[in-house]
Amino acid sequence: MPSVRKTKLAFKIMDKNEAMFALEIYAYILRKGESNPIRDRIERKLSIGETNEYDIRIAEFSQIYGHSYEETIKEIWKWQSYIVPEKRNYPIDEVYDNYNKYVAQFDKEPTKWSLQNDLLHISNGAWVFKGYVYEVKGLYSDDEIKLLILEDFDKERRYFEKLKIKFNEVQSEDIAYERPRIPESVRIEVWRRDGGKCARCGSREKLEYDHIVPISKGGSNTARNIELLCEKCNRSKSNNVV
């Protein structure tokens, strides 16, 4: 049998304002103001003692987002083989558009993740789908691996749908137990006693059977605990209950 194992991958599609702000700072640091440096590596930093407006921008970024711009760049750079696939320089707006496009794709279909990191030991490579990294063991083609991942995902989805139905039914049974239907004989007795009109205002419109002491507070379904109220009086009573 195929072995499919998945682990949660903590990532989200980066907010455009945050991503563009971080890429703008990164672009300046790598090319001192040019707009298309993205193919280079992250290690290059501002020289010690160098001061300019981007020192302020870096501090401003941290203040707004609560972390350094490098963290945002590293998050985007997880997907570098997808967002900068060609050997050329990229304007930062194109980098974000590619990032947004391909990370969104991982939510639509299983996609092979060619990130160069510690996942390389996986024989069939790492695959990303619906926020998870998948490992599939065995001699399978890429198309077969996609199908196995989809099957694993669908199996889990169906399992949780069954759980939802099961516990919704339990909840419905609990509600039914807590609020049993008023017996027909009691309804007739209350109707005759109250003269087929609201016990408070005398209206004969939109009448409802109301529990004087709510079932949830120990009230019973007897005629002594039920009265006829029109919709307006019943709502007014409910609004006054503390």
Structure tokens at 148: 């196995």
Q: What is the largest CA-CA distance in the chain?
A: 93
CATH number of 184-240: 1.10.30.50
| Whether the predicted pLDDT of 45 surpasses 80 | no
- Considering only CA atoms, which of 75, 62, 66, 67 is closest in space to residue 19? 75
Could you tell me the end-to-end alpha-carbon distance of the chain, in angstroms, rounded to an integer?
61
Q: Residue 91 contacts by C-beta under 8 Å, 6 or more apart in sequence?
A: 35, 36
Q: How far is CA 158 from the centre of its chain?
A: 18
The confidence score (pLDDT) of residue 226 equals: 93
DSSP letters of 34-102? -S--TTS-S---PPTT--SHHHHHHHHHHHHHSS-HHHHHHHHHTTHHHHS-SSS---HHHHHHHHHHH
The confidence score (pLDDT) of residue 224 equals: 92
The confidence score (pLDDT) of residue 198 equals: 92
pLDDT 10s digits, 61-101 = 998 888 999 888 888 887 787 788 887 778 888 888 888 88
Angstrom distance (rounded) from CA 119 to CA 175:
49
| Whether the predicted pLDDT of 229 surpasses 90 | yes
Angstrom distance (rounded) from CA 195 to CA 187:
12
Q: Residue 121 contacts by C-beta under 8 Å, 6 or more apart in sequence?
A: none
Report whether 26 contacts 69 (CB < 8 A): yes
Angstrom distance (rounded) from CA 168 to CA 14:
35
Q: Residue 139 contacts by C-beta under 8 Å, 6 or more apart in sequence?
A: none
The confidence score (pLDDT) of residue 138 equals: 81
Question: 190 or 103: whose pLDDT is higher?
Answer: 190
The confidence score (pLDDT) of residue 55 equals: 78
State which of 11-20, 46-55, 152-161 shows the largest mean pLDDT.
152-161
The confidence score (pLDDT) of residue 112 equals: 80
pLDDT 10s digits, 142-161 = 888 888 888 888 888 888 88
Question: 170 or 187: whose pLDDT is higher?
Answer: 187
Instruction: Give the residues across from 112 on adjacent strands.
Output: 127
Angstrom distance (rounded) from CA 208 to CA 233:
10
Whether the full predicted model's pTM is greater than 0.85, yes or no, is no
What pLDDT band is residue 239 in, cutting at 50, 70 and 90?
Answer: low
DSSP letters of 129-164? ETTEEEEEESS--HHHHHHHHHHHHHHHHHHHHHHH
What pLDDT band is residue 39 in, cutting at 50, 70 and 90?
Answer: very low
Residue positions counted in the chain: 242
Per-domain residue ranges of the chain:
3-141, 184-240
